[in-house]
Each structure stands twice: as structure tokens, then as C-alpha cells.
């Protein structure tokens, strides 16, 4: 599976489950909106408020897993990598998608907002019996 194939697949998903690991070893997952307006380049970007469990988790242990499922339940994609927190308004503006307004009801310059930048290390894709691993 190539980076271009992953990029095309990401366009078919709206939401992922973002999984992080707390310093206490607890595994934590939550739904996150997929930014479809930006081309996948080996990194994915998500917005959050700073005072959240996911941001605290990633500050301690940057390991992150993103799991996607299509609406028909026939395609699944797992992306695994490391998350980095940034407060750079320039970076956030570059990755803001107007569709995020529907989810957030906020704007990229909201006080206390940060961006989670995920560097994908590997991807795993399943589709009707297929299991292919792509490592970047």
C-alpha cells in the first residue's frame, strides 16, 4: 500500500478513533474528525483543547493509533505513529478546514486550542479478507 493509496482511502472516512496511552498505562480512545481537505503527506492533523486527556497522554507518551472504518463496515484502516502537540497559530491556520467548524463550533484561533500532529510510522489495511501492512 502506497502513501497515495492511503491518501485516497483517507478521503472515504469521516471519523477515526484516536487511541492514546496514559502515564498510568490506561488505554484511552475517542472519536476525532478526519480533515479531508488536506492531502495526506505522512502526517495527519487534529485539533483539540489543551486541557484534555489525549493531550496529557501524548505529552507523556507520544504513541498514537488511529482506526478508521467505512460506512459499510467492509474497509478498515489503522495508522500508528507518534503525536506531537503544537500551539503554533501559523501551523494551525495552515491545517484548519472550514468543515471543522461543524464539529467544533470554534475557530482555529480559539484560546486553549492546540493541534495534534501525527507522524505515521505504519499503516495496516483490511478489506474483505485482505491484510496488508505498509511501513513508511
- Tens digit of pLDDT for each residue in 7-51? 988 988 989 999 999 999 999 999 998 877 778 889 999 999 999
3-class secondary-structure state, position 95 = helix
Give CA–CA dist 121/102, Å, rounded. 30
Average pLDDT over residues 64-74: 92
Q: Which domains does the chain have, with CATH numbers?
A: 3-135 (2.30.110.10)
Of 17, 31, 44, 37, the closest CA to residue 136 belongs to 44
The overall average pLDDT reported for the chain is: 87
Q: Which of 3-7, 78-82, 92-96, 129-133 has the highest mean pLDDT?
A: 78-82
Q: DSSP characters for 34-70?
A: ---SS--SSEEEEEEESSSHHHHHHHH--EEEEEEE-
Place of cell 478489506: 127
Q: Supply the pTM of this predicted model.
A: 0.88
Q: For residue 89, name the pLDDT band (cuts at 50, 70, 90).
A: confident
Amino acid at each position: 500500500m502506497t502513501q497515495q493509496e492511503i491518501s485516497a482511502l483517507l478521503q472515504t472516512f469521516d471519523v477515526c478513533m484516536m487511541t492514546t496511552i496514559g502515564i498510568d498505562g490506561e488505554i484511552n480512545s475517542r472519536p476525532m474528525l478526519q480533515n479531508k481537505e488536506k492531502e495526506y503527506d505522512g502526517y495527519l492533523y487534529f485539533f483539540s483543547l489543551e486541557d484534555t486527556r489525549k493531550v496529557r497522554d501524548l505529552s507523556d507518551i507520544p504513541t498514537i493509533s488511529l482506526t478508521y472504518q467505512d460506512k459499510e463496515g467492509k474497509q478498515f484502516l489503522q495508522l500508528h505513529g507518534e503525536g506531537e502537540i503544537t500551539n503554533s497559530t501559523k501551523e494551525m491556520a495552515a491545517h484548519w478546514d472550514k468543515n471543522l467548524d461543524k464539529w467544533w463550533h470554534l475557530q482555529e484561533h480559539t484560546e486553549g486550542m492546540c493541534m495534534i500532529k501525527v507522524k505515521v510510522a505504519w499503516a495496516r489495511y483490511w478489506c474483505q479478507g485482505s491484510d496488508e501492512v505498509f511501513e513508511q
